[in-house]
Structure 1
């Protein structure tokens, strides 16, 4: 599968929010990849051409792609907004139910408004307009899984190794039982979950102005080459795309779609 189209390089502005990553500008091409967020794209100019992991393709102005669904951007847009949304947020849960084929992604976003405003203002407006599940208490997680998630977070904060066996002991479970809980309740095995948290940490450090090497080390990755391999697998582009052509905005903003679980 080869990427094509005029918008191959990413150039624009990005911002991190609690549970969100917002981007506005040129959306370039991206090779097949999958990430643990729900993704929403809306083209203010032209159309995207997307491919799923089963050979399906679709051309559309907007799409909502569920978490962990393999996809590629075959043709980007010269003026678009893109949102990465925590799958456990109220908005993420509302958008994560669509099927894993390209046609369904376009159908799921057919009623979404195309932002009138350019730049991050348009991304903020689209985020505020997205659907969300009705307010209410989130589904309870297994108490041992909650302990495990806290243990993972503490180890990442301390730049300590994050091993399934160590975390399982702190949670009071066997390795096998904890591994099942990660897959059943989070929808992601233990190691990919930890890797996703590391990429989030690296993104925060890059947004704060750190070099790719320091961001990789701060996230517990071996070096910038390791960060590059993971970014290509999760986002379909190299991390240099996020530093060469993207301006990161710093500042607080409200949580969209309710609190993150």
Structure 2
């Protein structure tokens, strides 16, 4: 056991607290092992003890800080009792910066991400994003009115079912191509990906409120629970059951 009374001989399991924003999923707690998988989110892991990530070529990346590029097959071979994991949308400025850093400098490059239970997870995420993409993406005062209107309309549209970029553009009074360009530029991720992150937020909110996965999936506009499961595995490499049963959530809608 360590000084905190944690039995280090027991393999850690996923469990802790998480924060979800459009383009960002952050987790703090115990980091468990995984099977081989790939996910679209860029994954940044920091822990108090060394852990091991095995890539598709059989190379082991061992340390207390590892960045897994987007869509790279890998598995967590040895977990950690205490750590922080941040998934970033690779189309976002901070996600793109982290992805390129890992590709060009190696997975064990040390990002600026400090784990400690005394620091709020939101603060850690804010500092990481500021380090990776220091240029501001703009707030509501700087955003085009059509983008502000789109962000206001999207939660209800997403919950109602499929979202058409053309119909949304018509509702906010500009062309679809113009809205697509402005949204990506001023929000930081493409409209289509923003919709997907919003669906995940709604689904997790409904699970936390007591819905089963089928009800949560339908309430978030997914076709069924299998669609929700495929989406969470594609984005994070984790099943929604892991995200719902073993994690307490801060569902931050801000961006």
Please confirm whether the aligned pair reaches a TM-score higher than 0.5, indicating the same fold.
Answer: yes
Report the CA distance between 1:125 and its aligned residue.
9.7
Report the CA distance between 1:25 and its aligned residue.
1.2
Q: CA separation of 1:181/1:57 partners in 2, compared to 1, >3 Å: closer, same or farther?
A: farther
Residues in 2 aligned to 1:123 and 1:61: alpha-carbon distance in whole angstroms: 20
Report the CA distance between 1:108 and its aligned residue.
3.9
1:220-260 deviation line (CA, Å, top 9, x unaligned): 1121111011111111122122245x14267x9xx8xxx94
Tell me the equivalent position of 1:28.
33
Report the CA distance between 1:168 and its aligned residue.
0.8
Report the CA distance between 1:213 and its aligned residue.
1.1
Matched residue SS, 2:97 = coil
Aligned counterparts, 1:168-187, within 5 A: 168-187=169-188
Contact 1:28–1:73 (CA<8 Å) still a contact in 2?
no
1:77-121 deviation line (CA, Å, top 9, x unaligned): 13132344777xxxx977863425254553242x64453x5xxx5
Matched residue SS, 2:222 = coil
Matched residue SS, 1:222 = coil
Q: CA separation of 1:95/1:162 partners in 2, compared to 1, >3 Å: closer, same or farther?
A: closer
Residues in 2 aligned to 1:197 and 1:181: alpha-carbon distance in whole angstroms: 18
Matched residue SS, 2:109 = helix
Contact 1:151–1:170 (CA<8 Å) still a contact in 2?
no
Structure 1 residue 147 corresponds to structure 2 residue 141: no
Q: CA separation of 1:33/1:41 partners in 2, compared to 1, >3 Å: closer, same or farther?
A: same
Tell me the equivalent position of 1:81.
83
The runs of 5 or more residues in structure 2 that have no matched partner are: 1-8
RMSD over aligned CA atoms reads 4.2
Q: Which moved more, 1:21-30 or 1:170-179?
A: 21-30
User: What is the count of residue pairs matched by the alignment?
Assistant: 234
Q: CA separation of 1:240/1:95 partners in 2, compared to 1, >3 Å: closer, same or farther?
A: closer
Tell me the equivalent position of 2:197.
196
Q: Which moved more, 1:170-179 or 1:98-107?
A: 98-107
Contact 1:41–1:80 (CA<8 Å) still a contact in 2?
no
When the two structures are superposed, what TM-score results if normalisation uses the length of structure 1? 0.68
Tell me the equivalent position of 1:228.
229
Report the CA distance between 1:165 and its aligned residue.
1.6
Residues in 2 aligned to 1:84 and 1:148: alpha-carbon distance in whole angstroms: 27
